[in-house]
Amino acid sequence: MMNELLRVTNLTKRFDAQDDPVVNKVSFTVNPEEIFAILGPSGCGKTTTLRLIAGFERTDQGSIQLKGKTLECPYTHRSPEKRGIGFVFQDFALFPHLTVMDNVIFGLRDIPKSQKTARAAEMLELIGMMPFSKRKPHELSGGQQQRVAVARALAPRPEILLMDEPFSNLDAVLRQTTRDEVRRILKEARMSSILVTHDQEEALSVADRIGVMENGSLIQIGTPEEVYYRPKTKFVAQFLGRTNVFPAMASGLEANSNIGNIMLDRPARGDVLISIRPEHLTLEHTTPANTQGISGVVLNKEFKGHDITYHVKLERCNCIVHTDNRMPFSVGDNVVVKPLEPAVVLDKS
């Protein structure tokens, strides 16, 4: 393909010959300047995939190509330092006794000494840390340390940057500002990257595309909007955020379900499983004139400031509905639940 930078094909890794593969026929591509997130629960094989790409592990099957050159396959193994790949670790791994400037210079091995300071200064400008160049890591906030770790990995101008849970050691507020800042830095440096995370909000807000991983396999690859609004499976639907999953009887673009008759995103026939996000449902007070939708009773209310989540008891099941904060219902209210969007038909798996 014309534009791809990295191609991973059928990558497969077992740590024990008897066990199931930890990474199972994983295939994806990363384009120039793209931020690609691998998202999945703990133990699904994300870190192992990243370590295979970095060259810290050997693959059993499949291949990894960077700019068309094979880095890894069962018969080829280019050593990590010869791959042109940068790595940012979860714990930042800065040297505590070196200044910010010297930490960044440390990453520069193959350029003349005279150019090292200028290159490091350029990186510190990019991350907005030049005023802190003489500080030691312990004199920085966690977010600043993480930006220095990114600058150090970017300084040798790698072809691609790999980041393993880079924000997980930061508290909630710092995590959000640091991830916004790191996205800006990557885009400004026009750097391709792979971000490994178990945090769906992080993947949705930072990445250009997301690969969702379950038990060693990539289940779905798409833009944040595609994986969130058009999940392929129940696992993807539930991992990407809260949702309602119901069995339904489909006939074409409509189905009969526990939340009444509902439109579908694609034609289907017979027994299907559907997902509808809570923000794609709405509530109205029950009145004699309200004949559309399905009746229920408000069981519980989570007030979250900008919006409210209601748990509603229906005749055959419960559902969750997000509304904005101008729709105040109380526990015990009789309501009518109405879909605002078609439900997504999930693959059976």
**Residues at the interface with ligand ATP (CB under 6 A):** 15, 22, 40, 42-48, 198
Separation between Cα atoms, residue 103 and residue 95, nearest integer Å: 6
The closest of 47, 73, 21 to 162, measured between CA atoms, is 47
Query: Quick one: 48 or 146, whose CB is closer to ligand ATP?
Result: 48
Residue 131 is classified by DSSP as: G
Q: How far apart are CA 268 and CA 131, in angstroms?
A: 60
Shortest approach of ligand ATP to residue 158 CB, angstroms?
21
Closest approach of Cβ 168 to ligand ATP, in Å? 9
Helix (H) or strand (E) run with residue 277 in it: none
Query: Smallest gap, in angstroms, from Cβ of residue 20 to ligand ATP?
Result: 10
Of residues 47 and 243, the one with the C-beta less far from ligand ATP: 47
The packing angle between helices 113-126 and 142-154, to 10°, is: 140
The closest alpha carbon to 87, from 62, 112, 53, 64, belongs to 53
**Smallest distance from the beta carbon of 166 to ligand ATP, in angstroms?**
13
Least spacing, CB of residue 189 vs ligand ATP, in Å: 25
> Which parts of the chain fold into alpha helices (H)?
46-54, 100-106, 113-126, 142-154, 172-188, 200-206, 224-229, 234-239
Quote the least distance from Cβ 151 to ligand ATP, whole Å.
Answer: 24
Q: Which residue number, 93 or 297, has a Cβ lying nearer to ligand ATP?
A: 93
CB-wise, 53 or 321, nearer to ligand ATP?
53
Give the residue nearest to ligand ATP (CB): 47
**Residue placing its CB nearer to ligand ATP in the complex, 40 or 278:** 40
Dihedral over Cα of 229, 234, 240, 242: its sign? positive
Antiparallel, parallel or unpaired: β 209-214 and 217-222: antiparallel
For ligand ATP, give the closer residue by CB, 102 or 199.
Answer: 199
